[in-house]
Amino acid sequence: MKILHTADWHIGKKLAGFELLADQEAVFEHLVAVAKKEQVDAIIIAGDLYDRAMPSEAATAVVNRMLLRLNRELGYPLLVVSGNHDSAVRLNTGRDWYQSTQLYLNTRLDQAFSPVTLGDTQFFLLPYFEPVMARQYFDDDSLTNIAKAMVPVIAKMQTMFAADKKHVLVGHFFAAGSEHSDSETRVNVGGLDAVAVSDLTPFDYVALGHLHNRHALKAEKIQYSGALLKYSVSEVAQAKGVYILDTQTMTRKFMALAPKYEVQHLTDRFAHLADPDYYQSLDREAYTAITLTDTQVIPNVMASLRAIFPRVISLDRAHGVRLAKTPQVQAAKLGPLPLLADFYQVTTGTALTAQQKTWAKQALAASQQEV
């Protein structure tokens, strides 16, 4: 059997204020094309379908369309768990009807103990859960973190193993040894909540979501698929895509998915970036983080860069900014009008006109009367 493994769609996520819904719909079409080309038998979505527990109507409509497309239009069985970014309660809507077309969706811990059997494999769909849920379910107060909670979870799953089947765990958690990137929530990604890779050995394969880097874990049979898109600058170098898992051999291959717009990080002098001979050789449509190596003040720097790179997502300096003529100590000693004139000069590159000076004086006088 061939299974497509994806996770961390984060539908509705914005990147530095830029709406990504159109990007997410575009890359989803590439995912569909891969599923068709590879003739997969089912699709795993390992959590974080949504970016927020309270998704917008637009994000809700997109996720609904995607599930409808994959499951009802294309007929793929789906193996889905909720992640920490999803509202388990909201995502659960419709769950009991979805199974009529082999859309298997788990959002609660107790649901994870009814494995789904497809072909040669039993799939255990374990949603993201809080330790308190395991304490309640097992009536065991000692389960104070996910690492501890996973021990009885896995033990219980093992009692359901069919001897003649392979056993695959689908989950959304932090497995020990993983590295992580900026776009994951820091909450609960720490040593105490890391699940030990050694505890996962009962499974023939573990298909995970949560970490956005598919190389986050060095364990042959335990894999993060990575996110659908690059959701932070720290992921610039990470190719995004899906795994195609062969359950016969429990081996996988990675299929990259091309994004509508790339994410890139440029570190350079402003003059170089603003040089048409140079910037025309770059991917100007990409979501672009810029680190300037200049140290002087550059008037209208953001507006100038956005005119060249319409999707600037961050701007910083490699070596700070040197304010040679007006250090803060000196600025505090100037009166309001010289300070304003100086600021205008620095930011626009020209001096105040006589008329502007008159207006500035009047405005300052009026504001002082109000006090």
Within positions 331 to 350, which residues make up the interface with its own copies, using CB under 8 A?
A: none
Q: How far apart are CA 134 and CA 145, in angstroms?
A: 9
60 binds its own copies (CB under 8 A): yes
Among 17, 39, 54, 371, binds its own copies (CB under 8 A): 54
Q: Where are the beta strands (DSSP E) in the chain?
A: 2-6, 14-15, 18-19, 42-46, 78-81, 103-106, 116-118, 121-125, 166-172, 205-209, 222-224, 241-246, 251-256, 263-268, 287-292, 312-317
Q: How far apart are CA 199 and CA 177, in angstroms?
A: 13
Total residues interacting with its own copies, rule: CB under 8 A: 21
Q: Cβ closer to its own copies: 99 or 201?
A: 99
Q: How far apart are CA 332 and CA 328, in angstroms?
A: 6
Residue 99 beta carbon to its own copies: minimum distance, rounded to whole angstroms? 9
Q: Cβ closer to its own copies: 141 or 370?
A: 370
Q: Cβ closer to its own copies: 20 or 88?
A: 88
Tokens of 332: 């505090």
Q: Find out whether 103 and 77 touch, Cβ atoms under 8 Å.
A: yes
132 binds its own copies (CB under 8 A): no
Residue 101 beta carbon to its own copies: minimum distance, rounded to whole angstroms? 6
Tokens of 4: 């497509």
For 318, residues 6+ apart whose C-beta sits below 8 A from its C-beta are: 267, 291, 292, 293
Q: How far apart are CA 309 and CA 313, in angstroms?
A: 10
Binding-site string for its own copies from residue 61 to residue 100, where x marks contact by CB under 8 A and - marks none: x--x---x---x--------------x-xx-xxxxxxx-x
Residue 98 beta carbon to its own copies: minimum distance, rounded to whole angstroms? 5
Q: Cβ closer to its own copies: 58 or 363?
A: 58
Of 125, 147, 143, 123, nearest to 133 (Cα)?
143
Q: Cβ closer to its own copies: 56 or 304?
A: 56
What is the spatial order of strands in the sheet that 287-292 belongs to? Answer: 263-268, 287-292, 312-317
317 binds its own copies (CB under 8 A): no
103 binds its own copies (CB under 8 A): yes
Q: Find out whether 285 and 310 touch, Cβ atoms under 8 Å.
A: yes
116 binds its own copies (CB under 8 A): no
Residue 80 beta carbon to its own copies: minimum distance, rounded to whole angstroms? 13
Going by the DSSP 8-state scheme, the letter that residue 69 receives in this structure is I
Tokens of 245: 């898992």
Q: Cβ closer to its own copies: 56 or 356?
A: 56
Residue 168 beta carbon to its own copies: minimum distance, rounded to whole angstroms? 24
Phi, psi of 7, rounded to the nearest 5 degrees: -170, 170
Mark the segment that binds its own copies (CB under 8 A) among 58-66, 217-225, 280-288, 324-332: 58-66
136 binds its own copies (CB under 8 A): no
Q: Cβ closer to its own copies: 57 or 277?
A: 57
Q: Cβ closer to its own copies: 137 or 224?
A: 137
Q: Cβ closer to its own copies: 94 or 338?
A: 94
142 binds its own copies (CB under 8 A): no
Q: Which residues bind its own copies (CB under 8 A)?
A: 53-54, 57, 60-61, 64, 68, 72, 87, 89-90, 92-98, 100-101, 103
